[in-house]
Amino acid sequence: MSQDATDAVLAAIRFDANGLVPAIAQQHDTGEVLMMAWMNAESVAETLATGRVCYYSRSRQALWRKGETSGQTQHLRDLRVDCDGDTLLLLVHQDGVACHTGRRNCFFLAVRDGALVEIAKPEVSPETLYGQPHHGHGHG
Amino acid sequence: MSQDATDAVLAAIRFDANGLVPAIAQQHDTGEVLMMAWMNAESVAETLATGRVCYYSRSRQALWRKGETSGQTQHLRDLRVDCDGDTLLLLVHQDGVACHTGRRNCFFLAVRDGALVEIAKPEVSPETLYGQPHHGHGHG
């Protein structure tokens, strides 16, 4: 991605008071919504430069290169900015699973028969992904 | 939706310091990501009770019944809570267009040939949707 393109994207984004913008990751070919996380200007620029999705972890207050620990990398296919510049849609190819629980996507809780239940099972264990029981949430 | 189910959903959501949670709206059958907006507890409860999506407008600081002015209603098909309870995915049927610009979805800005360009055209004019030129953004 050229510097001009990166500058154009950054100029179109209305980062919030904390310098962040929510980013939705969607599997580019199936349409599955994988997760939502946050980006700052540096993570947007790095993502465009490398083609690998980099978020900003609010809990760790640091860049979060998706898959750096778990190997579950997201490869950027396209980046979309919404009408008012305050949300991004990332079309990606997800290696493996997006969710730190080992599920393909993070949106596995739904109401069935009057209760909130899990509608998807882990495809891999968090121990396999992280080498040890994973504490805390994955989205910063 | 039963009160028990509504209570279960509300208990699972980690609203932010402003009492809000981001909600992604996805067309249930095509997988198209339509928009992202915010909900508070009251708007979540109303959405579950009525089956019509109600957001919270941050700019107007009021409930925002999607389509109330424009007629472009979102009918809830399923509501998903993510792994750490800080994002919702709404599977909906969108009447007409989701975006206040008259486009089907809000994510119509993308990088092409080094510049940020519009990759979708309005299907209806904002004047048709709102009766007059529409100022300000649609997502509160």
Chain B, nearest residue to A48 by Cα: B111
Q: What percent of chain A has pLDDT over 90?
A: 89
A125/A138 Cα distance (integer angstroms): 14
Question: Bigger pLDDT: B133 or A65?
Answer: A65
pLDDT over 70 at B53, yes or no? yes
pLDDT over 70 (residue A138): no
Q: Report, as an integer, the average pLDDT of B112-133.
A: 91
pLDDT at A25 over 70: yes
CB atoms A81 and B4 under 8 Å: no
* CA–CA min distance B91, chain A (Å): 11
In the predicted model, what is the mean pLDDT of chain A? 94
Contact A139 B114 (CB under 8 A): no
Chain A residues touching B102 at Cβ < 8 A: none
Q: State whether A81 and B139 contact (CB < 8 Å).
A: no
Counting residues of chain B whose pLDDT is more than 90, the rounded percentage is 88
The pLDDT, as a whole number, for residue A116 is 96
To the nearest whole Å, the CA of A12 is away from the closest chain B CA by 8
Instruction: For residue A12, report the phi and psi dihedrals to the nearest 5 degrees.
Output: -85, -15
- What's the pLDDT tens digit per position in B70-92? 999 999 999 999 999 999 999 99
Q: Tell me whether residues A107 and B35 touch, CB distance under 8 A.
A: no
- In this prediction, residue B131 has a pLDDT band, given cuts at 50, 70 and 90, of confident
Confidence check: pLDDT of A89 > 90: yes
Calculate mean pLDDT across residues A104-110: 98
Q: A139 falls in which pLDDT band (50, 70, 90)?
A: low
**For testing contact with chain B, the best of A13, A27, A29, A36 (most B CBs within 10 A):** A36
Report how far residue B3's alpha carbon sits from residue B88's, in angstroms, rounded to the nearest whole number: 19
Task: Give chain B positions within 8 Å (CB) of A81.
Answer: 107, 109-110, 116
Q: Is the pLDDT confidence value at B132 over 80?
A: no
Instruction: Return d(Cα B17, Cα A107) in angstroms, integer.
Output: 22
Find, among A68, A126, A127, A75, the residue nearest to A100 by Cα. Answer: A126
CA atoms within 13 A on the CB side of B75: 7
Does pLDDT of B108 surpass 60? yes
Q: In chain A, which residue's Cα lies nearest the Cα of B1?
A: A114
Confidence of residue B2 (pLDDT cuts 50, 70, 90): confident
Least-confidence region, from A71-75, A128-132, B83-87, B133-137: B133-137
This prediction has a pTM of 0.94
With an 8 Å Cβ cutoff, are A107 and B84 in contact? no
The residue of chain A with its CA nearest to that of B116 is: A8
pLDDT of residue B35: 98
A137 phi, psi to nearest 5 deg:
-95, 165
E-assigned strands of A4-131?
Answer: 21-27, 33-39, 54-57, 62-65, 74-81, 88-94, 109-112, 115-118
Q: What's B106's DSSP letter? A: S
What percentage of chain A carries pLDDT values higher than 70?
94
Residue contact B86–A31, C-beta within 8 A: no
Distance between start and end Cα atoms, chain B:
26
A1 Cα to chain B: minimum distance (Å): 7
